[in-house]
Structure formats: C-alpha cells, structure tokens
Amino acid sequence: MASIFTKIIQGEIPCEKIAETDSEIAFLDINPCSHGHTLCIPKREVARLEELPAGEATSLMSFMQRVATAVSRAFNGIDYNLTLNNGVNAGQEVLHVHFHVIPRKPGSPRPFKSREPYGEGEMAVVGERIRACLD
C-alpha cells in the first residue's frame, strides 16, 4: 500500500511543494513544529534510510542541503535542525524515509534534553560494537 508521501508524489494528495527533482521532493509539513518546517523525501518508497541505495541517499543529502539553505535564508538566516526518525521506536509515523528541516527561533525548546551518560569503559564497548557492524 502506498504511503501518504507516495500519494503526494503522484499528485493524489496536494502539498505545498518547495522543490522537486527526478528523485526527490520537498514540501511543507502539514503539522509543523515551526513555520517553514519542510520535509525532504526520496521518491523511492522505502521505510528506512539504510534501504535507500547509496547513490540515491547521496543525492537526497545534496537536495536536503539545498532546501535547508533556502529555509534558513527565507527566515533571515535562522538556525535549523535536520531530523530523521528512522523506525517506529524512533518516532517515525510515515514509513517512507523522510528528513525534517525544522527552523529554530531564539528561545525555542532545545533538542537532546534527555541524556544517558556512559559508565566507566562503556564507550569503548559501544564503539567496538558499532565498528564491528560497518560494511
């Protein structure tokens, strides 16, 4: 079943389109965290970032950089967060990979308020665990 984003790509659902290429599209989020909150998505419907072929992921990153620059300029050089919720447990609601470009006004709530410090020696163990999974 096609995701809501695929339906937007196919023109079945309207959007406020910001930019589009042959392989990506950016549009305003209909439930924004702030004005200018923009979604950057690949046209290929995959649920997770690692399912996107490497060349398409690279293209998406370049596209997102261009869109994020425009969002910042549109709001007088405003700072912004780039966010990916990769999987349901990470907060992903639409199972079609997408990045959020979220403009941040002065005084807006900061991300990363919750911290989980490493215990003695844990950082090295976690680092090795991740390195062992690199391709």
**What positions carry a catalytic annotation?**
98
Task: Name the CATH superfamily for 4-108.
Answer: HIT-like (3.30.428.10)
* pTM score: 0.89
Determine the pLDDT at residue 111.
Answer: 73
Distance CA 117, CA 130 (A): 17
pLDDT (tens digit per residue) in 20-31: 999 999 999 999
DSSP 3-state of 121: coil
CB-CB contact of 99 with 64 (8 Å): yes
Q: Tokens 């410090």 belong to which residue? A: 117
Joined together, the tokens standing for residue 9 give 């790509």
For each successive 10 residues of the chain (135 residues), what is the average pLDDT? 95 95 96 93 98 98 96 93 97 97 87 78 85 81
